[in-house]
């Protein structure tokens, strides 16, 4: 069968992909760490689709989690045997999403998919519905056209990516499923032109700052100690100190520098006319791999101690996430070279490698010595209001995945 015939089949599945992804978006799968119901119902829907298309080799890995109604977080593994059964090409997607955020910023209901032209809108449409749909379509192509992949073609639909992977990929690794020569593709980051293959990620540091002062009446600030003012000042000065101390540039990454962003702010009071006695702010830091996170934390702690002394407050810092970046995937690794070849043949473009600040499953693989590549064709709307993905990009990415299975 020619490439044109294979690609023509994939292009003919546009209606199916719109219906599949629309159904997926409507199944709310917000991570329970963020107040959501989890991914179980999405996993049921995906498993049903796999069976309908003729895949019977499906494995479930359930991880106990009492926070969700079902009591478990479900991970799915689907498998199409290849000519060489000692090696597998894995396409790994995640099934959980972040919450919708400020609903007033959405032009359409976040969990009611809306198709406008080529764009399908909804929470999780891009992150990671795009990857789920593209990998499903690639698998459907191999089965319906009776094409045997060169090596095994494996799909994973994994829980808990948005909260670190404890109920997903970290548990899956305990099952000894992967071989060191497997090819790992994680379609969880990309660019609008599909030109860039991610081979490296920044280190991640999330922390919570709690400033304790003394509450008082709003008209009597001299009797209190305004934790809000001191907390804001501490956050802004810390922001400046971190940027100045870790300011190097690395052109592999986008953006090419470390980022230190104050993000979430907890409510301190319900009324205006009270001086707050406590204040809570969170930071999300994405740091170039050359820097040791322990050094970053040392500077944070030195700044905290100085502020406590100057302002006579107590400041507590909780480190919520700390992940030192693993060594990058080699640009000459088999997975990068084969992915590059498939992109060139299917898309007619010359791929380049780069690094990102976001965290994906690829870092879990790299930390364990696996070569993993992250790639997708997306407009980078993940976690934003009015998140969307382009149906045409799903179709083009499915071509690349199907071709990778055949070369």
- Residue numbers annotated as active site: 96, 161
| Residues 278, 241: Cα–Cα separation, whole Å | 23
The CB density around residue 81, as the number of other CB atoms within 10 Å, is: 14
In residues, how long is the chain? 407
């Amino acid at each position: 069968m020619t490439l044109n015939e294979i690609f023509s089949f994939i292009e003919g599945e546009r209606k199916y992909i719109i219906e599949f992804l629309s159904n997926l978006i409507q199944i709310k799968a917000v991570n329970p760490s963020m107040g959501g119901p989890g991914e179980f119902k999405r996993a049921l829907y995906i498993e049903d689709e796999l069976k309908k298309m003729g895949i019977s080799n499906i494995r479930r890995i359930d991880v106990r989690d009492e926070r969700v109604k079902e009591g478990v977080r479900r991970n799915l593994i689907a498998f199409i045997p290849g000519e060489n059964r000692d090696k597998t090409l894995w396409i790994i997607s995640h099934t959980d999403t972040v919450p919708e955020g400020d609903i007033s910023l959405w032009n359409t209901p976040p969990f009611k998919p809306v198709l406008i032209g080529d764009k399908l809108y909804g929470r999780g449409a891009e992150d990671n519905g795009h990857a789920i749909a593209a990998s499903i379509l690639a698998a459907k192509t191999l089965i319906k056209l009776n094409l045997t992949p060169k090596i095994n073609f494996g799909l994973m639909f994994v829980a808990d990516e948005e909260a670190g992977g404890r109920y997903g990929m970290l548990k899956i690794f305990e099952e000894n499923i992967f071989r060191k020569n497997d090819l790992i593709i994680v379609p969880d980051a990309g660019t609008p032109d599909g030109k860039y293959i991610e081979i490296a990620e920044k280190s991640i540091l999330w922390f919570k700052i709690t400033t304790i002062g003394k509450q008082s009446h709003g008209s009597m600030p001299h009797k209190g100690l305004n934790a809000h003012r001191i907390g804001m000042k501490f956050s802004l000065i810390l922001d400046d100190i971190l940027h100045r101390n870790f300011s190097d540039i690395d052109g592999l990454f986008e953006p090419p520098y470390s980022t230190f962003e104050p993000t979430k702010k907890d409510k301190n009071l319900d009324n205006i006319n009270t001086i707050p006695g406590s204040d809570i702010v969170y930071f999300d830091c994405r740091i170039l791999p050359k820097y040791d996170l322990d050094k970053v934390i040392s500077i944070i702690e030195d700044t905290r101690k100085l502020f406590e002394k100057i302002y006579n407050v107590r400041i507590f810092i909780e480190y919520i996430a700390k992940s030192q970046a693993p060594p990058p995937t080699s640009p000459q690794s088999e997975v990068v070279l084969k992915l590059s070849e498939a992109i060139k043949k299917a898309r007619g473009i010359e791929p380049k490698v780069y690094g990102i600040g976001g965290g994906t499953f690829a870092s879990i693989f790299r930390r364990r010595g696996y070569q993993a590549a992250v790639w997708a064709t997306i407009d980078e709307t993940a976690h934003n209001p009015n998140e969307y993905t382009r149906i045409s990009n799903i179709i083009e990415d499915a071509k690349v995945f199907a071709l990778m299975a055949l070369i």
